Amino acid sequence: MTQLTGKTCVVTGASAGIGASLAKGLAAQGASLALVARDKDRLAEVARECERLGAPEARTYACDFASLEQVRELADRLLEDLPRIDVLANNAGLTLTHRQETVDGHEKTFAVNHLAPYLLTRLLLDRLVASAPARVVVTASDAHEFGPIDPDDYMSTKAYKPLKVYGRSKLANILFTTELSQRLAGTGVTVNCFHPGFVSTSIGRDHPIGVLVLKVLRPFIKSPQQGADTGLFLATTDVPENGKYFVKRRVHAVKNDAQDPKLAQRLWEDSGELVGLD
């Protein structure tokens, strides 16, 4: 899938940063786009740029991933509007300085970074399979090394350390990738995740120290375009790998709990209960 004319790609977190860069890269290869984010105005700007770059169509969908109800409504709209989905890029994410809960009562970082894309992907699975060969691409991070996941405390009620909580959500992204690839074996849908590198984006907008560090280190930080490169590679290239973690376009080893297939299966099942799916 190196030319995307006639293909439809869904990109979440598409209003800025890596998501916007992914969308623009897909647009330049002729893909039709469904762009998802919270900010309607910024989404509209990215959509206009994507159409200028070559996308036949760039639809926009405002959705707050901190609400599972909004994610369900998003899935309904996507299924109604899109006869096919060739690429689903699960990119939306955040990091917070202190513990917050969503309207569903879930810790917000885990909810936005893992539960919401888990739910969206499951709701779109039939359409992805019907569109095969298709791809799911997940923006993970080497922060997964800061886990681990405690299946008895997904919501970080015992202790809240921002870096560990963010790392736990990124570990969940990798475990989700592994388990989903197993469940979709033989369907023609491949699932891979990637580490974008140390990228200057708005993900740490709620973290004053993070903002300061970004300013100091900016000359050494990747641009969003550079960070999106491996994701774009996975979305557009027929790689033989499935269920793998990529860094700089190559399969990279994961660490600690990210290698545990039993944990991946349990996280899948527990997540289904948390979002109200069998």
54: left (phi over 0), alpha (psi -120 to 50) or beta: left
Scanning the chain, the segments in alpha helix (DSSP H) are 17-28, 40-53, 68-81, 108-110, 116-130, 162-183, 208-217, 224-236, 261-275
| Nearest-angstrom CA–CA distance, 75 and 79 | 6
The contacts found for 156-160 with CB under 8 angstroms, 24 or more apart, are: 156/99, 156/107, 156/109, 156/110, 157/107, 160/98, 160/99
> Rounded to the nearest 5 degrees, what angle is found at the Cα of 194, between the Cα atoms of 188 and 197?
165
> Rounded to the nearest 5 degrees, what angle is found at the Cα of 8, between the Cα atoms of 69 and 57?
95
Which residue is catalytic, options 61, 154, 166, 245? 166
Sign of torsion over alpha carbons 15, 139, 196, 256: positive
Residue 245 a catalytic site member: no
- Structure tokens that stand for 114 in this block: 């893992």
Residue 251 pairs with which residues in a beta bridge?
246
Q: Which residues are catalytic?
A: 166
